[in-house]
């Protein structure tokens, strides 16, 4: 019973962060929720290992990446990639959310210009806010590799047209 209470608190604390990470890794919002749910189901099944992990955050985000990679390798993902479903946009934008929406869209498009490896490092390091060591552990790479991928990723993002055209003081130009 104590494990289930601890697990429930863990889920409540991590849910939105896991979904957000999956979105920035390239999943649509409903797919991101599926990935987060599958990750948390794995956590439940292996709760003793998750609890005992030296770095629980890195362990869980590694699980998230593995779930996402597995989903992408499936026949369903290959079919969906060839026939993408466009997400419906609302007919009218909400005035106070327009700037935030433009910013989110620009960041999302810029992130898609990165390689999978670069996107994973950027998401785990900056969006999830794992340390370099945690990011390295989650990805199974060395901390120096994290640093070099981040450096190349940030250089690429700094000249990405989606972000360059963005006027952070008053919307898009």
pLDDT of 69-107, one tens digit each?
888 777 565 666 665 555 555 555 555 566 767 777 888
Cβ pair 161, 172 in contact under 8 A: no
121, pLDDT greater than 90? yes
At residue 80, the pLDDT reads: 62
The domain limits of the chain are 1-88, 94-173
Could you give the CA distance from residue 111 to residue 115 in angstroms, rounded to a whole number? 9
- Please report which confidence band the pLDDT of residue 42 belongs to, taking 50, 70 and 90 as the band edges: very high
At residue 172, the pLDDT reads: 46
Does this model's pTM top 0.85? My answer is no
* Domain 94-173 fold: Arc Repressor Mutant, subunit A (1.10.10)
Could you give the CA distance from residue 89 to residue 103 in angstroms, rounded to a whole number? 16
- The mean predicted confidence, pLDDT, of the chain is 83
Residue given tokens 């026939």 in the structure block? 83
- Please report which confidence band the pLDDT of residue 173 belongs to, taking 50, 70 and 90 as the band edges: very low
CATH annotation of 1-88: 1.10.1740
């Amino acid at each position: 019973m104590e494990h289930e209470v601890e697990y429930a608190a863990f889920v409540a604390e991590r849910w939105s962060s896991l979904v957000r990470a999956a979105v920035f890794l390239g999943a649509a919002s409903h797919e991101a929720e599926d990935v987060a749910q599958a990750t948390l189901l794995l956590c439940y099944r292996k709760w003793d290992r998750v609890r005992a992990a030296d770095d629980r955050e890195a362990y869980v985000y590694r699980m998230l990446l593995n779930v996402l990679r597995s989903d992408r390798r499936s026949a369903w993902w290959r079919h969906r990639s060839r026939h993408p479903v466009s997400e419906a946009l609302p007919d009218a934008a909400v005035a106070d959310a327009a700037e935030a929406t433009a910013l989110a869209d620009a960041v999302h498009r810029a992130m898609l210009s990165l390689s999978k490896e670069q996107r994973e490092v950027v998401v785990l390091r900056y969006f999830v806010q794992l340390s370099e060591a945690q990011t390295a552990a989650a990805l199974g790479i060395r901390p120096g590799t994290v640093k070099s991928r981040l450096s190349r990723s940030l250089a690429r993002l700094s000249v990405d047209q989606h972000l360059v055209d963005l006027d952070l003081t008053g919307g898009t130009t």
